[in-house]
Structure 1
Amino acid sequence: MARRPKGDGSITELPNGKFRVRIEVEPVGDKRKWVSKTVGCISEARKVLKELERQKEDNKLIEAKKEKFKDIVEMYLKELEESGEVKETTQWGYKMFLSKWLPYLEAMPIQKITSRLLDKIMMDWKTQYGVNSILSYRRALSCLFTFAIKKKLINRSPLKDSKRIKNVSTKKYLEIISPEEHEQIKRVSYGDFESFLNTGRATSKTMMFPIYMLAYETGMRRGEIAALKWSSVDFKQNTIFVESNMVHVAGKGTFETTPKTESSVRPILISESLLELLRTIKDTYEKFNIKATYLFVGQKHTCIIPSQIGDNFKEIKEKAGITRPLTFHDIRHTNATILLTKGFNTKVISTRLGHSNIAVTLDTYSHVLNATMQSAVGFLEEQSGHYSVTMGS
């Protein structure tokens, strides 16, 4: 059978009666490369050649390289780091999520990974991890395959043909701190704070009273609180400026980063009582010659690790005799719930909390808004009187 000109595709009949279809692809270095397929009959061979020519014309025909999955992961993470477009915490998240795939795919060429194999791995995971965790691992892998397509290592993600995993909402009824619990927490945490006022011994524990009071009044996240500097406080305008977020990444330590979203950068107006509490801390630092850049510092007068705030709150909660599930983040929910139930404007609350948009606030606190609306309907019914009327005969 006649061959086509050099560079074009060709069909060759093999000794076993089958047909080999071959087409040249973009060379790697100085060496010419081809993609080939073997089929059973001439008519099928012509169809395959036509399809390969179409793919080549559309730049979708890629010579199969032999990079292993592990190598592609390293390339991808390196590019994320060098691009400077992704936060270090996000990079760390991708690294953790992709590491879940390594025991199964580490030495496998990325071109050999199939949707069937990925489905089997994710099916096995269902006995170890929750659905939302598996979805996170899947999303990270999808980003990796997109990277591989961009680098012309594959032309299609095997996840495109994998089975869909239904998202399971983990939203629970938000835990709210009651007025009684609030007083108990204040009482327990103030004991340690008083020790700081008397001795100047600053630790993550002795700082918990002002940290708690700040979170209760502002709804700030613990990373935002840990990153607050004295330069962020305007004592004349009664305002705190949230400008950064403190994070802790395993192997890299504790450091400041940009806030969660653009909307998280915000001014928060605070009460005179809270401002006076901050003045007391500042005066105590000066009294004991503590050089502190941050509002709340630990033993070495450096920043507090956000996770320490969560651990300390758990300990305070238990000392206060509160046995139900309650986390530091629930202080934020308490703040929002109080404001919503008192009828404050939702947009104002959303801005104060640093939500990316008002829809996040409406979705997160929909149960509070529904209860408020039911109260409003009852109030309107009471004000407008009974709706039944007696018609004359």
Structure 2
Amino acid sequence: MAQKGIAIIGAGMIGGAHANAYRQFAHRFGDMPLAIVCDTNAEMAGDLAQKYGFKAVASDWKQVISDSDIHVVSVCLPNFLHTEVTQAALAAGKHVLCEKPLALSADQARPVRDAARTAACVSGTVFNYRRIPALADIRARIEAGDLGAPVQISVLFQCDYAADPMLPHSWRYEFDKAGPGALLDLGTHAVDMARFMFGDVAEVVGAVSTISVPQRHLPLGTTTGHGHVELSDETATVDNDDVMSGLVRFANGAQGFVSASRVAVGSGNRLAVEVHGTRGTARFTTEMPSFYELALFAPGQPSNFMRVPNRPSSPSIGDLAPVPHDLAAIGYAEVFGYLIHEFLGAIAEGKPLENGSIEDGYRAAQVLDAIQRASVVNEPVKVAFED
């Protein structure tokens, strides 16, 4: 049997999450060696390869994609490089998992979506939070009608990595390279979770944007992730949002609120979801990962919340839980592993990855565009539905 080598393109912070997940699960699917880590920074590529057991390093992503021994590619590059590399990987017949956001705009995402539709390989967008057992459970309850007809959803994704004004300027703070700031970097997850729960968004009724740190110092050295480095005296303008919020209406008539912040002090990586239906409410936050809260309406009885634990039988877990016991917390790394396991399983079975597809990445981009536009024009913006 031919080897199906795995390559990670981009050795930064998120590349490590992919590498860890492949190391954990690739062996379950036969001969799928951890082959190459690719990055223009040779030291970073070497460190990541050594840490997670990848056999080789490279500096040119085009050479990696042209390598006939590489069958699986994770694209873990800065946002502005996602479309070019993902399209090239699809054209080369590679199975490809692209980090979010799929592109800086829906116009840029559309060719990737079109290529994925015709490619004879498995592809997906990294929407790892769909695999949180509690959120998968809540979605299953919505589909089963347990919460009644959808009425309202609130999804907040809050981080504080940019709250420190002494964090150096980088591509993340440039609209041309990162697109909308917190909205695209974090709000992509919020928008996808809203769609995951309630379906397509028909209209953005309104949106508001804030830049709270308008200038940042340029770094003297290389930056990685959200790390601090020595700063120069020179500053550069931040021209994308630190906070963005949007009020939306779904195709099913329900309403929603999505918000993203990279300056929410005290929020390391917080996703909070609250769903209201005509018969019940469900709430979950990543700050309390062991359970979600649920209240179901019963005539003549008080609607007291109950705690529903993450159980081994929950969707997305199966035999993957390292500690298969009720209320054993499921963390970020485990959930990321479930995504990689599902991706590799789709490859092994020759089936599409439907739970977080390239199509989902494109649909999210359409909503993100509408939110960004609504914040500028200060009026409702329709979201176009395309086949």
Task: Give TM-score, length-normalised by structure 2.
Answer: 0.22
Q: RCO higher in 1 or 2 (8 Å CA, sep ≥ 6)?
A: 2
Q: From the two aligned structures, give the one with the greater helix fraction.
A: 1
Q: From the two aligned structures, give the one with the greater strand fraction.
A: 2
Task: Give TM-score, length-normalised by structure 1.
Answer: 0.22
